[in-house]
Amino acid sequence: MPINSFVDYPMSWRPERRELERPVYLSLARMLERDITEGFLPPGTKLPPQRELADFLDINFTTVTRAYKTCELKGLLHAVTGSGTFVSTNAVRSVTISRDRVPVECIDFGLVASFEQSNFMVTEAVRKVSARAGLEQFLNYDNPDGIPHQKEAALRWMRPLGITANADQVAIVSGAQNALTVTLLALFEPGSRIAVDEHTYSNFIELAKSLRIKLIPVPGDRSGMLPEELEACCRSTDVQGIFLMPSCCNPTAIFMPNERRRELASVIARHDLIVIEDDIHAALLQGTTAEDGLPVREMLPERTVYICSTTKSICSGIRLAYIVFDDTMRERMLRSIYHVNVKTSSLDAEIVSELIVSGRADDIVAYKKSLAKSANDLFAEYFPQPDDPGHPLSFFRWLRLPKPVHASRFESDLLARGVRVFHSDRFLVGTGSREQHLRVALSSTGSLDELRRGLEILRSSL
């Protein structure tokens, strides 16, 4: 029998005792999931403590633990020892970002594309490659991790970014997201924990969710994640890895100074973490800041998986990324590549290699940089943010909202006015931070004029 009467106590969730069936923990989890998805328990709601709910339902409190845990692994909840259990911000909807089913007529500040205006140069490379003799070497099962000369091109591409590696430490996969999937499957297991920025790449959040890998948000400042916070986080729980985008964090655009990278590296080494370093924007930012970013991979080569996608810097439709890893990870990484992809199209890899070797890729990067410059300048006209810590050439900006808004309603209101943009909640790991932002992609509009029209609408909406 319950000891207390709960009639007078307010309890944020009061499931029907009679609805409980055996197994209790499963039916409880089902009820909870239902009440969250149906909106009875809005995001941020603090659920009753395990012991209190258990008492109310007259069951053991660890049975509630189990029900909560089931929902937590689905990403519906977020629990903190000492504070309580809360409904996740992104519990109800998926935050997956894609260009699937966007209204045709909208101005897209949502998905971060890559200034597709430069694709005519890629077309040339496609024609050049396909005119060659010996095309058939690209049409078979051989070289699942890349043809040797393609890996050479990869190394050549990454050398200016500060990567020193040999051909056995590189593999070719199908874009950064694919690289993340491969890496998570190769080196982590369900239940593993990975430290991330409080706001991080939303598709990584979703991927981790589906692999049942737990992301632990670590606070940061204007230079990125805070080493002492990472230290605290590693002390408190068993963390196996860390995900970083030091050159330009998506969504905050923060460029992490080398000093900060070194401090983090020392914490990482001390706690034996595996680093996933996503350097997707590196090539686009080289030579534009006071110092060029030194990859964390070079500080910790034996524990880092470095991902260098060419989809942002060269061409988004030719799905390609290079992964650099240590010899000790090679076996696991190659096997994982095989399980997820078998191989990446050698034809696609060849097109990118051709662009790199011919030097045309550098032209593309230079062109995209100039487009990024113009777009950022225009953005600054509309939204001057003098203290913006983001990288000046970023393909997206992190715009602080003057007053709190309802995230998904705000997004859909703007969409109704013809602009797609994403609220910071989409990128949030766990429960809320005080400040709200918008991520405004500048690289998906076809022209400066379209960008201007979009910014106009955006400004008038704030």
Binding region for a second copy (CB under 8 A): 94, 96, 98-100, 111, 113, 116, 119-120, 122-123, 126-127, 129-131, 135-136, 138-145, 174-175, 177-178, 181, 185, 189-190, 203, 206-207, 210-212, 311, 315-319, 334-336, 338-348, 351
96 contacts which partner out of DNA, a second copy, none, CB within 5 to 8 A by kind? a second copy
Q: Is 56 in the site for DNA (CB under 7 A)?
A: no
Q: Is 139 in the site for DNA (CB under 7 A)?
A: no
Question: By CB under 7 A, how many residues form the interface with DNA?
Answer: 32
Give min distance, CB of 321 to DNA, in A.
Answer: 32
Q: How far is CA 261 from the centre of its chain?
A: 19
CB-based burial label for 58 (10 Å; 0-12, 13-18, 19+) = exposed
Residues with Cβ < 8 Å from 31, sequence gap 6 or more? 15, 16, 19
DSSP string, 152-178: HHHHHHHGGGT----GGGEEEESSHHH
Give min distance, CB of 193 to DNA, in A.
Answer: 8
What CA–CA distance (Å, rounded) separates 290 from 440? 25
Residue for token pair 């010899």: 327
202 within 8 A of 96, measured Cβ to Cβ: yes
149 contacts which partner out of DNA, a second copy, none, CB within 5 to 8 A by kind? none
Nearer to a second copy, 132 or 417 (CB): 132
Nearer to a second copy, 270 or 339 (CB): 339
Nearer to DNA, 208 or 364 (CB): 208
59 contacts which partner out of a second copy, DNA, none, CB within 5 to 8 A by kind? DNA
Compose the 61-80 pattern: x for residues touching DNA by CB under 7 A, - for all others: xxx-xx-xx--x------xx
138 contacts which partner out of DNA, a second copy, none, CB within 5 to 8 A by kind? a second copy
Give min distance, CB of 172 to DNA, in A.
Answer: 37
Nearer to a second copy, 180 or 267 (CB): 180
Name 216's bridge partners.
195
- Return the axis-axis angle of helices 50-57 and 61-73, rounded to nearest 10°: 120
145 contacts which partner out of a second copy, DNA, none, CB within 5 to 8 A by kind? a second copy
- How far the first Cα of the chain sits from its last, in Å, is 54
DSSP string, 44-69: TPBPPPHHHHHHHHTS-HHHHHHHHH
What CA–CA distance (Å, rounded) separates 309 from 125? 18
Task: Return the amino acid letter for 37.
Answer: T
Give min distance, CB of 102 to a second copy, in A.
Answer: 9
Within 284-414, strands assigned E span: 304-309, 321-324, 396-400
- Restricted to residues 7-46, the positions that interact with DNA (CB under 7 A) are 22-26
Give min distance, CB of 136 to a second copy, in A.
Answer: 5
Q: How far is CA 139 from the centre of its chain?
A: 32
Give min distance, CB of 362 to a second copy, in A.
Answer: 18
Positions in the binding site for DNA (CB under 7 A): 22-26, 47, 49-52, 59-63, 65-66, 68-69, 72, 79-85, 232, 235-238
